[in-house]
Amino acid sequence: MTDFTELKPDFFSAQLWLARYYAEVDSVVAMKQTYDDVIRLGSEDPVKNKSALNEAYIQLGSYYFGQKNFAAALENFRKALTYGENSGLHLAIGQCLILTRGDDVDENRKRTEDAIARFRRAIQLDQNNAQAHFWLGNSLLFLRIEGDTQKNRELNNEACGEFKKALKLDPKLDDAKKAMERIGCK
């Protein structure tokens, strides 16, 4: 297959299948380069190539996520969202938003609220997404405000509910167990 793409590098379908092959065999550098070509070629007719572009941006987002470059991952996941949505994509966007929080309190609150909306959408699309329930629970805890006992109690209770749902769906989700212990879920 590589020989063909070398002879005809602008053959969109061959580049797409080659990128999928590289993804399957964990050749991440070659996968990234080939999906970059898929995006370049597919962008010439984005309506026709909608699903391939969605796939390419998701794969590139996953590549950057694996490299812990969450800002680049977020950018690619958001581009993928313009070509189609699914539960996993909203989960990934929410995770990137949480993982790119910084020192600015107001910006963090906005990012957290956006992430919570993404996790809720992920759950809406797939109620059995244990990770979305877990990350939603975790993110709710970031909204607590020192001294606001009533609001913090409500956020803790909602977070506990999400952790319980996550554990029901995936009993081996140790992070949910630890979070429940940490905040005293009953």
Task: Dump pLDDT digits (tens) for 103-150.
Answer: 999 999 999 999 999 999 999 999 999 999 999 999 999 999 999 989
Within 10 Å of residue 126's Cβ, how many Cβ atoms? 15
Domain shared by 72 and 92, yes or no: no
Q: Which of 15, 48, 76 is the last residue of a domain?
A: 76
CB 122 within 8 A of CB 90: yes
The pLDDT value given to residue 65: 97
CB 90 within 8 A of CB 116: no
Domain shared by 161 and 89, yes or no: yes
Domain shared by 102 and 178, yes or no: yes
Domain CATH code at residue 50: 1.25.40.10
Dist CA 76 CA 84 (whole Å): 13
Domain shared by 52 and 110, yes or no: no
Within 10 Å of residue 174's Cβ, how many Cβ atoms? 10
Residue 88 has pLDDT above 80, yes or no: yes
CB hemisphere CA count around 4 (13 angstroms): 9
Domain shared by 102 and 123, yes or no: yes
Mean confidence (pLDDT) of the chain: 93
**Interval 19-41: pLDDT, tens:** 999 999 989 999 999 999 999 99
Provide the pLDDT confidence category of residue 8 given band limits of 50, 70 and 90: low
Domain shared by 98 and 68, yes or no: no
CB hemisphere CA count around 85 (13 angstroms): 14
Q: Which of 55, 76, 97 is the last residue of a domain?
A: 76
Dist CA 84 CA 23 (whole Å): 20
The pLDDT value given to residue 26: 86
- Minimal CA–CA distance to 118: which of 44, 110, 67? 110
In total, how many domains does the chain have? 2
Residue 9 belongs to domain spanning = 1-76
